[in-house]
């Protein structure tokens, strides 16, 4: 370590990986406003924060699979924090959100402009706020992971995009915030995926349910579904959809 440098603490690394997850791959540089803001919070330079994001990129399986390499010289603690997140997304990501809120003298709910008291009381209020917070966080993660575009059609109107789970929210409480358990889709294809009208195979190619194929003479079915049969989705730059989640969807949801 060079003179004048200080080691990164666990709390600082949790905030850095929080930002890594939220930023598109091409925006993890020292000129990015969000990198600059985190540097101010941590009293570090934007360059040092950008380098740490690059260290985390060196662990990312999706980037490695594409032949992209992050920055070398990641620390043992960097690896430990990365593994913690990969093994327990929901707990660690919310912990990082709380740590960020604390640094900003607020709460995660305030950061996401969620009203704590909307027409609920007691445990129902707490449950409702937590659900809305998680949904807001998950949407931000997927928008960054897919560069704000539907992975089937390429639509980039944020208002039309849905951050959907591959394995439903109610079915897997440990992966509600895991970007590998999510797809960014336009509203129509999100509903079709949710109801098993489409799925993805082992090569991330779209499969259309035979129930839809029976209606192949309907023009809207041809335009919105059948023309995508066998085509690959646009893969995210970082966190690829998890094969373990897609397998569950094919087995339990897809109407074959």
Is 157 in the same domain as 246?
yes
Residue 118 lies in a domain: no
Whether the pLDDT of residue 107 is over 80: the answer is: no
**66 occurs within a structural domain:** yes
Helix axes 10-22, 46-57, angle to 10 degrees: 70
- Both tokens of residue 62? 């999706």
- pLDDT > 90: percent of the chain: 63
* Residue 95 in domain: no
78 and 152 inside one domain: no
Number of domains in the chain: 2
Phi, psi of 39 (to 5 degrees): -60, -40
Per-residue pLDDT tens over the stretch 129-185: 355 556 788 898 999 999 999 999 999 999 999 999 999 988 988 888 899 999 999
- The arithmetic mean of pLDDT across residues 213-230, rounded, is 94
Range of the domain at 214: 147-252
Domain stop point among 40, 69, 89: 89
> Does residue 62 lie in a domain region?
yes
């Amino acid at each position: 370590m060079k003179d004048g440098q200080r080691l990164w603490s666990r709390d600082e690394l949790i905030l850095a990986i929080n930002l890594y997850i939220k930023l598109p791959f091409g925006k993890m540089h020292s000129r990015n406003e969000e990198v600059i803001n985190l540097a101010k919070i941590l009293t570090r330079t934007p360059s040092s924060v950008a380098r740490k994001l690059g260290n985390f990129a060196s662990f990312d399986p999706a980037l490695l699979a594409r032949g992209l390499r992050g920055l070398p010289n990641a620390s043992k603690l960097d690896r430990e924090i990365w593994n913690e997140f990969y093994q327990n997304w929901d707990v660690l990501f919310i912990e990082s959100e709380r740590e960020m809120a604390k640094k900003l003298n607020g709460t995660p709910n305030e950061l996401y402009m969620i009203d704590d008291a909307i027409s609920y009381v007691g445990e129902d209020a707490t449950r409702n706020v937590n659900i809305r917070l998680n949904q807001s966080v998950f949407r931000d993660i997927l928008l960054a992971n897919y560069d704000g575009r539907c992975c089937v059609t390429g639509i980039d109107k944020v208002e039309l995009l849905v951050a959907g789970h591959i394995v439903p929210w109610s079915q897997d409480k440990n992966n509600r915030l895991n970007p590998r358990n999510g797809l960014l889709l336009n509203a129509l294809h999100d509903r079709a995926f949710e109801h098993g009208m489409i799925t993805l195979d082992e090569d991330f190619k779209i499969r259309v349910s035979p129930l839809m194929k029976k209606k192949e003479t309907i023009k809207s079915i041809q335009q919105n579904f059948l023309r995508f049969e066998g085509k690959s989705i646009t893969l995210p730059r970082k966190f690829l959809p998890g094969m373990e989640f897609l397998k569950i969807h094919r087995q339990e949801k897809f109407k074959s």
